[in-house]
Amino acid sequence: MSADSKKAKVAKMKKLEQNFEEDWKNPMRLPYLEKIVLNIGVGTGGEELERAGKVLEDIAKQKPVRRLASKSVKEWGIRKGTPIGVMVTVRGDVAIKLLKKLLIVYNNRILRKSFDDYGNFSFGIDEHISIPGVEYDSTIGIWGLNISGRIVRKGMRVRTRRKKRTKIKKDHYVKREETQYFLKKFFKARIVRRLEIEY
């Protein structure tokens, strides 16, 4: 990429960020972190599932729920309805503090491809013991986990409530660039193309 192209790209991004700041002056347009979901897929039940659940409970300080197989897979010995994973959903101020802690694992970096156009983002952690404050336990072992977050605006509840459910206009969803800027501003995140090793 030439120097002129880089300058044009930076100028375009700054203009976009200024537009976000102007838009956020309206309290109904200001995004916020709705929730983060921590998930470990085990593939089997029993003691392995119990250990995975203990990992999530230690990290999130909440009791996780079991995820059931939606279909049978003969090759893997999985039957429909059997527990194969655990997950926990965290909201509010607890979610904000937890996300800041989880982002430290990769020095606050998130891959550019980890975002969609609906306010969702995801990333994985290979070893749960790399999370600050989590210590190794030989009885549990080392687990990897997936983290998914969702950035929304006020008023999104009308899409999922039980009574008088209505559709949300497309421009009320938080788009990819806006989600990235939100995480950069409030969580000091850095959006990168590759997660290169940093010393």
CATH of the domain at 85: 3.30.1440.10
Helix, strand, or coil here: 149? strand
Between 199 and 77, name the one with better pLDDT. 77
Confidence of residue 101 (pLDDT cuts 50, 70, 90): very high
Window from 1-10, 21-30, 48-57 with minimum mean pLDDT: 1-10
Q: How far apart are CA 146 and CA 114, in angstroms?
A: 12
- The radius of gyration computed from the CA coordinates of the chain, to the nearest angstrom, equals 19
Closest CA to 47 of 141, 147, 122: 141
Q: What six digits make up the tokens of 56?
A: 């999530």
Q: What is the mean pLDDT of residues 135-157?
A: 93
| Whether residue 81 sits in one domain with residue 15 | no
Task: Check pLDDT > 70 for residue 197.
Answer: no
Q: What six digits make up the tokens of 151?
A: 């950035």
Model-level pTM? 0.87
Q: How far apart are CA 194 and CA 67, in angstroms?
A: 31
**Residue 125 structural domain:** 31-192
Q: How many CB atoms lie within 10 A of CB 6?
A: 10
Task: Check pLDDT > 80 for residue 171.
Answer: yes
